[in-house]
Amino acid sequence: MDALDLSDEYDRYAREQRKLDRKEHDSANWESQRQKVAQAKRTIKRKVLDFQHKLTTWLVTEYDVVAVEDLNVKPMLETSQNAKNKQDAAWSQFIDLLEYKADLHGTHVKKVKPEGTTKECAVCGVETAKPIWVREHSCPACGHTEDRDLNAAKNILYRGLKQLGAGRSESTPVQTVLPALTPQREAVGAKRVIEAGSPEA
Ligand SMILES: [Zn+2]
């Protein structure tokens, strides 16, 4: 599935917002511009929901097990509280949709603790802290290197499989899905990785 690109929609939203800022507050012009801002915001919300519907349908159709990071209750350091609240709301909506559809399809959804999924090495389990801009996981203990998100995705899947009583397996297909819940600018550092896999065992 293609990722969701909302950069045009966010540009438009920012543009309308800037226009609003230049209008005299509470004037007729201001009011009509305020409606344009609201419209731009609704478009983004609708596109996110459409995308989440497509993504969750695809996931439960394609996979028997989907492991996702549970909502992180601790505030994220990389992003503002406001951005985090929005992302949390979008993430909750996504998980709700996923669980609802998974029920209908007999797909297992496992919510796992998000702590340390990017730090942990998916091969040996040793934790290595890395700043958000380091896109590659490179393990000082075992030498394993991999894309940061893919490494995290595997950890999420292993945690999910553990909950199911299954172990890690080299043959488990691993797929990384980024739900693109937020604009790219805001998503850096807050993007969650969805891990979906179909254990053969
Ligand atoms: Zn390692």
What is the count of structural domains for the chain? 1
pLDDT of residue 99: 96
Give the distance (Å) from ligand 1 centre to CA of residue 121: 5
Give the distance (Å) from ligand 1 centre to CA of residue 75: 27
Q: Evaluate whether residue 1 is within a structural domain.
A: no
pLDDT of residue 197: 45
Give the distance (Å) from ligand 1 centre to CA of residue 128: 9
Q: Evaluate whether residue 12 is within a structural domain.
A: no
Give the distance (Å) from ligand 1 centre to CA of residue 153: 15
Give the distance (Å) from ligand 1 centre to CA of residue 120: 8
Give the distance (Å) from ligand 1 centre to CA of residue 152: 12
pLDDT of residue 75: 62
pLDDT of residue 24: 95
Query: Any residues with CB less than 8 A from the CB of 1 and at least 6 apart, and which?
Result: 54, 55, 58, 177
pLDDT of residue 169: 60
Q: Evaluate whether residue 35 is within a structural domain.
A: no
Give the distance (Å) from ligand 1 centre to CA of residue 131: 17
Give the distance (Å) from ligand 1 centre to CA of residue 194: 21
Residue 33 to residues 9, 28, 45, 133, 166: CA-CA distances in angstroms? Answer: 16, 9, 19, 37, 55
pLDDT of residue 123: 94
Structure tokens at 149: 């998100």
Give the distance (Å) from ligand 1 centre to CA of residue 106: 34
d(CA 117, CA 200): 23
pLDDT of residue 3: 79
The residue to which tokens 């951005």 are assigned: 83
Cα end-to-end span (Å), the chain: 26
Q: Evaluate whether residue 17 is within a structural domain.
A: no
Which residue range is the domain that position 192 belongs to?
52-197
Q: Evaluate whether residue 57 is within a structural domain.
A: yes
pLDDT of residue 29: 96
Give the distance (Å) from ligand 1 centre to CA of residue 12: 44
> How would you write the pLDDT of the chain (201 residues) with one tens digit per residue?
777 889 999 999 999 999 999 999 999 999 999 999 999 999 999 999 999 999 999 999 988 889 999 987 666 565 677 777 887 888 899 999 999 999 999 999 999 998 999 999 999 999 998 888 899 999 999 999 999 988 999 999 999 999 988 766 655 566 666 554 443 332 222 234 444 444 433
Q: Are 138 and 39 in contact (CB under 8 A)?
A: no
Q: Evaluate whether residue 125 is within a structural domain.
A: yes
The model carries a pTM of 0.78
Q: Are 152 and 132 in contact (CB under 8 A)?
A: no
Give the distance (Å) from ligand 1 centre to CA of residue 157: 17
Give the distance (Å) from ligand 1 centre to CA of residue 167: 18
Give the distance (Å) from ligand 1 centre to CA of residue 154: 13
Give the distance (Å) from ligand 1 centre to CA of residue 119: 10
Structure tokens at 142: 């075992």
Q: Evaluate whether residue 58 is within a structural domain.
A: yes
Q: Evaluate whether residue 46 is within a structural domain.
A: no
